[in-house]
Chain A
Amino acid sequence: GQNIDQPTEMTATEGAIVQINCTYQTSGFNGLFWYQQHAGEAPTFLSYNVLDGLEEKGRFSSFLSRSKGYSYLLLKELQMKDSASYLCALNSGYSTLTFGKGTMLLVSP
């Protein structure tokens, strides 16, 4: 089975940088995803890591360490619209995704 842990809530101010951590245990690994979900809406894809290291995409970066079972999502130059839930999701090799419970990020002025 899989187990995914991420903080329940985080707060940050506009313009700041925030790092959302995700740790996991799994018997198989075929990639880790980060999704953003605004209240009442479906998740939107942010990033995908399958190899160790940092993937940068604009204001968003995601890091993976497979040996440590650890990933983080880094958000720079925070904007109010970044207030949302951020979901860490694991692909264990059977094409299905297992989602963490999500981290609710609140960006304040």
Chain B
Amino acid sequence: GAVVSQHPSWVICKSGTSVKIECRSLDFQATTMFWYRQFPKQSLMLMATSNEGSKATYEQGVEKDKFLINHASLTLSTLTVTSAHPEDSSFYICSARAQGQGKYEQYFGPGTRLTVT
């Protein structure tokens, strides 16, 4: 149980275009989903926290107008990178926390490798 999927697993886009990444909890309902970014040989950096049906909470330094997050249902959250630039190239990972889970365990998706040319 507790499987999280992401789509696509990798994407290459041109500078200035937008890219949407989907994160789905397959066998549980996720009240909270998290979006992380990881640059090579660096740790995961939390970008934003999204709760179903409400606006996402962004970490300091993350542009909310550039990284649009939508958590429309208990099993789906999307991250849209708008007007992507080469410096946005990174590994984007989502995680989900199950409803009612007491110990704050997060289940991670397999990640999406974004390359902006």
Contact = CB atoms under 8 A, between A and B. Distances in A.
Given A40-B113, A95-B97, A96-B34, A45 B107 contact: yes
Contacts of A96: 34, 46, 49
Interface residues of B, number: 21
Interface residues of chain A: helix, strand, loop or mixed (majority): loop
B111 A48 contact: no
Interface string A65-104: 0000000000000000000000100010001111111100
B110 interface: yes
Contacts of A44: 108
Contacts of A31: 103-104
Interface in B45-60: 45-46, 49
A16 interface: no
B113 to A, nearest CB: 7
Contacts of B104: 30-31, 91, 95, 97
B87 interface: no
A77 to B, nearest CB: 25
Interface string A35-68: 1000011111100101000000000000000000
Contacts of A97: 34, 46, 104, 106
9 contacts: A30-B104, A41-B110, A42-B93, A42-B109, A45-B107, A95-B32, A95-B104, A97-B34, A97-B106
Given A31-B103, A40-B111, A87-B43, 7 more contacts: A41-B111, A43-B44, A95-B104, A96-B49, A99-B45, A99-B46, A102-B43
